[in-house]
Amino acid sequence: MAYDTNNIFAKILRGEIPCIKLFEDEHTLAFMDIMPQAEGHALVIPKEPATTLFELSDAAAAACMATVRRIGNAQKKGLGAEGIVLMQLNGAAAGQTVPHFHIHVIPGSIADLRKPHAMVMADTDQLKAVAERIIGAI
């Protein structure tokens, strides 16, 4: 499958669309999900263009996991999360809604994920307040 350079995450990476950034390095970007399934729901994306895990380089996959660990630890510390759910979907048939590889880093437990994925837009000010707690713990 050809990578769509106009997907929303590619636009975020190019600075065309804003995000509530948690962390960025030369290989990855972590930001708040604007349609969270739980408070503190974050996304980690590679800067490398890849639609699914199976198109992602080993180096980019490793960089993503390092950032996932950083964000998950910050969620535990900054939000008091006892557990962290990691979710990663590959392809539309699996439920992937943005065709750019990404990992959901969600504080809480699988039982807390009662909201459907990508259904309700969160309040931006509330997202920013939660983001500050996570950033403060990085």
Q: Which domain holds residue 30?
A: 8-135
Structural domains in the chain (count): 1
Instruction: Please report, for the domain that includes residue 62, its CATH number.
Output: 3.30.428.10
Residue 45 lies in a domain: yes
3-19: b (≥16 Cβ within 10 Å) or e: eeeebbbbebbeeeeeb
Mean pLDDT, the chain, rounded, equals 94
Q: Which pLDDT belongs to residue 119?
A: 74
Average pLDDT of the residues in 30-44: 95
Q: What is d(CA 135, CA 133) in angstroms, rounded to the nearest whole number?
A: 6
pLDDT of residue 118 exceeding 90: no
Residue 2 lies in a domain: no
User: Higher pLDDT residue, 122 or 116?
Assistant: 122
- Percent of the chain with pLDDT strictly greater than 90: 88
Judge whether 104 counts as a catalytic residue. Answer: no
Residue 131 lies in a domain: yes
Catalytically annotated residue among 27, 41, 100, 102: 102
Residue 1 lies in a domain: no
Residue 105 lies in a domain: yes
Reported as a single tens digit per residue, the pLDDT across 47-100 is: 999 999 999 999 999 999 999 999 999 999 999 999 999 999 999 999 999 999
Residue 105 in tokens = 């880093």
Residue 3 lies in a domain: no
Q: Which pLDDT belongs to residue 116?
A: 67
Residue 13 lies in a domain: yes
Q: Which pLDDT belongs to residue 62?
A: 98
